[in-house]
Amino acid sequence: MSVPSTVASLIQANAAALDALDFDGWLAGFTEYAQYHITTAENQRQGLPLGLLHALTKDQLRDRIASISTVNVYEPHRYRHVLSQTWIKGQGLEMQFITPFAVYRITETKPTILFATGEYQDRVEYAHDGVRFMHRTVVLDNDIIDTLLAIPL
Amino acid sequence: MSVPSTVASLIQANAAALDALDFDGWLAGFTEYAQYHITTAENQRQGLPLGLLHALTKDQLRDRIASISTVNVYEPHRYRHVLSQTWIKGQGLEMQFITPFAVYRITETKPTILFATGEYQDRVEYAHDGVRFMHRTVVLDNDIIDTLLAIPL
Amino acid sequence: MSVPSTVASLIQANAAALDALDFDGWLAGFTEYAQYHITTAENQRQGLPLGLLHALTKDQLRDRIASISTVNVYEPHRYRHVLSQTWIKGQGLEMQFITPFAVYRITETKPTILFATGEYQDRVEYAHDGVRFMHRTVVLDNDIIDTLLAIPL
């Protein structure tokens, strides 16, 4: 089975929304009861529940986004996602869309740096008005994250 | 709408031509009256006209290429483009193909470095003998470009 | 001609197998008489036969994999491949699938680094049970490889 173009578009446009700091556009890619997790490969391998960010509904993602604009203090920055080709892992109910990525961190007065590498593990839902994430796990390759993870990945 | 495979091929083959220093192959991807601009995200956000490179016809691109071979003195180098998945932004006449990228700079005696991240914003023209760029804007994420921008991106 | 989705899946899933240290999964992507070479762009340009790794059959790849687990001593690490879009070069018997890449090296206690950039040059074989590599050349952009190349690319 090949990756549907609607799913590929969802994945790329969602990353581009983050890169443009368009958080409403980013949120629009999730269903109301979507789960979103950020964890590390080592945590996932060990089956540890604790990760860097857990949202069990879209409202929790909205709270996270609100806190970026109103509460958190951090150095202004944005990301650039470069996504590898999406591929399909597993079958039936176990099926996931896997998209490896590199994310770069851009600040105004410093050189751009590699921020993180990892992969998206996505399950999606098809509705009459489009396809959305119902379960996204962001698995980071390295346990060392050298700055506050302010913007979701 | 999904990205036509002919457009995806144009975008990737065009980057590969640059990486191979095949400038004729690169030029072949543009229409005769193609516009080609290199600018930064900050410049584009502010609507500033001034960018790093502006070509309003393919002849101006030819001039640029000629100057690389005959006039400019720079340390021999080439690029490696790694392109994210292409996605479609807007509709109708406003439609653009967006392709995020990371470009690495390769020199003979030094480690490869990340040269720039950014995105291509492309409009294309379909002709009987293939598809070509009629308008390409290369938007760099960072204002800091640490070396002479000798080879087009 | 556009890149068949089965070929794109083979290329991405094969890289993902390496990244997950799933060497059996990686080997499964090759035919029994597959050739696999790692070389550099400079070597390839000069037509030099000597490269970093040459396997003329799948058994030689199996030997290489066995030596990773049993003989080699190296710092534990794994890779993250980020693949650019695959494009088609040449026609007929000369046809190759070209996939530029960046590979990052992940170790437990250090920041992730850019390990190599380059491109895959692939020829494939279609069988009733799927598509596999019959000839893969991994062309690295830079002659400087700063660590032991323990895991195939």
Nearest chain A Cα distance for residue C46, angstroms: 30
Nearest CA to A117 out of A89, A91, A82 is that of A82
Residues B104 and A36: their CA atoms lie apart, in Å, by 32
B31 occurs within a structural domain: yes
Q: Where residue B91 sits, what CATH number does that domain have?
A: 3.10.450.50
For A33-86, what is each residue's pLDDT tens digit? 999 999 999 889 898 876 778 889 999 999 888 887 665 556 678 999 999 999
Contact assignment for C142 to B82 by CB distance below 8 Å: no
Contact assignment for B142 to A111 by CB distance below 8 Å: yes
B101 occurs within a structural domain: yes
C141 → closest Cβ in B13, B80, B109: B80
- The number of folded domains in chain C is 1
Q: What is the pTM of this model?
A: 0.92
Residues C114 and C140: their CA atoms lie apart, in Å, by 13
The residue range of the domain holding C111 is 5-140
A150 occurs within a structural domain: no
DSSP-derived letter for residue C82 is E
B141 → closest Cβ in A85, A106, A114: A106
Per the CB < 8 A criterion, the answer to whether C105 and C113 are in contact is yes
Contact assignment for B85 to C85 by CB distance below 8 Å: yes
A106 → closest Cβ in B83, B142, B146: B142
CB hemisphere CA count around A144 (13 angstroms) = 10
Contacts of B82 in chain C (CB under 8 A): 82-84, 100-102, 117
Beta bridge mates, C102: C82, C117
Residues C137 and C36: their CA atoms lie apart, in Å, by 6
For B116-153, what is each residue's pLDDT tens digit? 999 999 999 999 988 999 999 999 998 876 556 667 88
Per the CB < 8 A criterion, the answer to whether C98 and B83 are in contact is no
Pairing of strands C96-106, B113-127: unpaired
Nearest chain C Cα distance for residue B101, angstroms: 9
Contacts of C among chains (3+ CB pairs under 8 A): A, B
- CA C44 to chain CA centroid, Å, is 16
Per the CB < 8 A criterion, the answer to whether C149 and C38 are in contact is yes
Length of chain A measured in residues: 153
Residues C153 and C150: their CA atoms lie apart, in Å, by 9
Best B83, B142, B143 member to test A by mutation, with max A CBs in 10 Å, is: B142
B152 occurs within a structural domain: no
pLDDT at A106: 93
Give me the amino acid identity at C150: A
Contacts of B146 in chain A (CB under 8 A): 111
For B63-118, what is each residue's pLDDT tens digit? 888 887 665 556 678 999 999 999 999 988 899 999 999 999 998 888 899 999 99
CB neighbours of residue B137 within 10 Å? 18
Whether residue B11 lies within 8 A of chain C, CB to CB, comes out as yes
For B2-60, what is each residue's pLDDT tens digit? 788 889 999 999 999 999 999 999 999 999 999 999 999 988 988 887 677 888 999 99
